[in-house]
A = this chain, B = another copy of it.
Amino acid sequence: MDKYNKIIQELIQFRNDRDWEQFHDSKNLALAISLEASELNELFLWKKDDEVENINKDRLKEEIADILSFTFLLAEKHNLDVFDILSEKIKKNALKYPIDKAKGTAKKYNEL
């Protein structure tokens, strides 16, 4: 079993041991991802450019882990293979952001 499937099994076991599947509808899982993303962003609030890499690494790890936990559980709930959907998205983005137009600019695809 690969690392991804092993982690998914651990996340499901953790959830089932606590009888939490009842709370994990897609809307609440999506909200949980957003709240964890905000906790990640809180590490950077009020920081200027020269301070943004000077953060608490332990909290960084925990917030990234929290975001991934709920995102993996949402993907699993919908039987999505995260690597497949990432591959597909990279292909789509390659069409939205062709290298010759997108190189070196942070503009959105509809402004290129």
What band does the interface of chain A fall in when counting residues whose beta carbon is under 8 Å from B?
Answer: 35 or more
Copies in the complex: 4
**Across the interface, do B92 and A62 meet the contact criterion of CB distance under 8 Å?**
yes
The A interface, classified by DSSP as helix, strand, loop or mixed, is helix
Produce 1/0 per residue, A62-77, CB < 8 A to B.
1011111101001100
Q: How far is the CB of A8 from chain B (nearest CB, A)?
A: 10
Pull 18 A–B residue pairs with CB atoms less than 8 Å apart, ordered by A: A2-B2, A2-B3, A3-B83, A6-B83, A17-B103, A26-B52, A28-B45, A31-B41, A32-B46, A33-B37, A35-B41, A60-B78, A62-B85, A64-B71, A64-B74, A64-B82, A66-B89, A68-B68
